[in-house]
Amino acid sequence: MIVVDSGVVFTLVAGAEPAARRAALRVGDEDMLAPQLVDLEVVSVLRRLVVRGDLPLSLAAAGLRHLAALDLIRVDHGPLLQRCWELRHNLTPYDAAYVALAETLGAPLLTIDRRLAGASGPHCPVEVLT
């Protein structure tokens, strides 16, 4: 079991081939979990890239289809809010939700965000996908 953040999920569903392959290899056959907000974060990134002209609409649409089909367990983030608040000094509420879920499950958190990996406060292993 592994908690994955939105950066990893984006990489899996719409990232460049070498990075997507590395993410898939790292996750392997482990159950992937994320707070429900992950879908909105990934859709937000897809939208931003399309609006800026950095991603063709067809590739964004394919990424959205892959996101919907991804074998990812989405967990209600409501019960994580108190811990998210406790982490407010070092993490955004979004990042804190992934940390809180990993802590609750006793699972590692996989991210592409080095800043998150270096933040003080999390009580779970945080691994950076390189």
- Establish if 68 belongs to a structural domain: yes
Here the CATH number for the domain that contains residue 57 is: 3.40.50.1010
- Establish if 127 belongs to a structural domain: no
CB 34 within 8 A of CB 91: no
- Establish if 124 belongs to a structural domain: no
- Establish if 78 belongs to a structural domain: yes
> How confident is the prediction along the chain (130 residues), in pLDDT tens digits per residue?
999 999 999 999 998 889 999 999 999 999 999 999 999 999 999 999 999 999 999 999 999 999 999 999 999 999 999 999 999 999 999 999 999 999 999 999 999 999 999 999 999 999 999 8
Going edge to edge, which strands form the sheet with 32-35? 73-75, 32-35, 2-4, 109-111, 126-128
- Establish if 128 belongs to a structural domain: no
- Establish if 38 belongs to a structural domain: yes
Number of domains present in the structure of the chain: 1
- Establish if 130 belongs to a structural domain: no
C-beta neighbour count of 94 within 10 angstroms:
17
Structural domain including 25 reads 2-119
CB 109 within 8 A of CB 125: yes
